[in-house]
Amino acid sequence: MAEARPDLGPRKAAVLRAVVETYVRTSEPVGSEAVAEHAGLGVSSATIRNEMAALEELGYLSHPHTSAGRIPTDIGYRHYVDALPVGGKLKEGQRREIAAHFAEAIVDLEEVLKGSVQLLSRLTQYAGLAVPPGASEEQIVRLELIDMGPSLMVLVVGQHGRVDKQIVDRPDQFDPKSVAGAERRMQAIRGQSYTDAQATLLRLAAEAPASEHDLLLVAADVLRIAVHGERNAHVVVGGVANLADETQAWRRATLRRLFETLEREQDLLHVLQDVSSDDVQVTIGAEHPTTGDWEASIVTAPFKAGDATVGTIGVVGPTRMDYLSAMASVRAVAARLTQAAAEADAER
């Protein structure tokens, strides 16, 4: 990601910035005249033209056709984003909306995330996304085997309100007595983290009588899935209607692909899990293989809930995105999320 691109020098950078910002605002290719005015560099449009030609040569800008203005390439956006000052400012209204949203104490993380994703989509006019924290460090509050007639439900409740369930076919050998036995045996893991508990269950299974052995393995498997998020790890998505807005100039086919991926949670998860950093992170266009044909960018930030369990929240929008404002919104929401979770923990 940190490609060794040559430093542009202040003026080229300013021109690039002006092109990006004007293009984002108008969604029309940007001409030298407009840049000369907007960038306030005190040079004429002719000079700008030279700079723009150079920027195109370097791959930061492109040209729909000879006599049109310039539009940024993905690389151009990348440079722009990297050069962006850290502190994007929120509008007063946005700030208030965020504050209002986090006024209530955090209770159910899942619900809060749904709300936060909606909030982000309202703030940015793009679609909001969130990946709930993995369960690995969360403590288990309860683990139960529930007899459901022909099947058996394994139910796990985590410290932060997480509930994982899985229903498995119950082979005949799982008689009520074994189930009760296994359930009693597995209570040893209460208070352990999901990861630790999984190991404990495997150990218990080894020691347990044959009739209970498989049951313990099944329970261990539910924990494994909870940790890895293979099945349940849904991505919370909200505000996708924004993507269908007329002002986003996506072609119909692109829009369709975008929606398809937003539904395929697994793919989405890969993208979101690949972007991990301590701060806001931006993935532009084809920078990630999965997002190659999206013509879209993702802005994400991690948040902490509990001790070290980390989730991700962010937005998806067109590459022609208002990165500054999107990053500010995402950063602010992630920060408030972390803070709210910390307060909820302190109270505990």
Strand, coil or helix: what is 70?
strand
241 binds a copy of itself, rule: CB under 8 A: yes
Distance from CA of residue 125 to its chain's centroid?
Answer: 16
| Torsion sign across C-alpha atoms 226, 231, 235, 239 | negative
Q: Which does 103 bind (CB under 5 to 8 A by kind): DNA, a copy of itself, none?
A: none
53 binds DNA, rule: CB under 7 A: yes
Q: Do the Cβ atoms of 306 and 133 come closer than 8 Å?
A: yes
Across the strands, what pairs with 220? none
Strand, coil or helix: what is 44?
coil
Minimum CB–partner distance for residue 85 and a copy of itself (Å): 33
Using the minimum distance from each CB to DNA, give the nearer residue, 3 or 247: 247
User: 226: left (phi > 0), else alpha (psi -120 to 50), else beta?
Assistant: alpha
Q: Do the Cβ atoms of 345 and 306 come closer than 8 Å?
A: yes
Minimum CB–partner distance for residue 337 and a copy of itself (Å): 17
Query: Of these, 100, 167, 180, 206, which contacts a copy of itself (CB under 8 A)?
Result: 167
Per-residue contact string for residues 66-95; x = within reach of DNA by CB under 7 A:
xxxxx-------------------------
Query: Of these, 63, 234, 257, 288, which contacts DNA (CB under 7 A)?
Result: 63
Per-residue contact string for residues 122-161; x = within reach of a copy of itself by CB under 8 A:
-------------------xx-x-xxxxxx-x-x-x-x-x
Minimum CB–partner distance for residue 85 and DNA (Å): 24
29 binds DNA, rule: CB under 7 A: yes
Residue found under tokens 């560099």: 41
Q: Which does 107 bind (CB under 5 to 8 A by kind): DNA, a copy of itself, none?
A: a copy of itself
- CA–CA dist 11, 336 (Å, integer): 37
Query: Of these, 13, 38, 49, 240, which contacts DNA (CB under 7 A)?
Result: 49
Strand, coil or helix: what is 12?
helix
Length of the chain: 348
Minimum CB–partner distance for residue 69 and a copy of itself (Å): 25
- CA–CA dist 133, 302 (Å, integer): 9
- CA–CA dist 129, 300 (Å, integer): 8
Minimum CB–partner distance for residue 71 and a copy of itself (Å): 21
- CA–CA dist 170, 149 (Å, integer): 8
Of 242-301, which residues contact a copy of itself (CB under 8 A)? 244-246, 252-253, 255-257, 259-260, 262-263
- CA–CA dist 326, 126 (Å, integer): 9
169 binds a copy of itself, rule: CB under 8 A: yes
Per-residue contact string for residues 9-28; x = within reach of DNA by CB under 7 A:
-------------------x
Using the minimum distance from each CB to a copy of itself, give the nearer residue, 33 or 260: 260
Two tokens, residue 316 = 């998806």
Query: Of these, 2, 4, 6, 42, which contacts DNA (CB under 7 A)?
Result: 42
Helix and strand counts by DSSP (H, E) for the chain: 12, 10
Cβ burial, residue 171 (10 Å; 0-12/13-18/19+): exposed
- CA–CA dist 154, 164 (Å, integer): 8
Minimum CB–partner distance for residue 45 and DNA (Å): 7
Q: Where along the sequence are the contacts to DNA (CB under 7 A)?
A: 28-34, 42-47, 49-50, 52-53, 56, 63-70
Q: Which residues bind a copy of itself (CB under 8 A)?
A: 105, 107-108, 141-142, 144, 146-151, 153, 155, 157, 159, 161, 163, 165-169, 238-241, 244-246, 252-253, 255-257, 259-260, 262-263, 344, 347-348
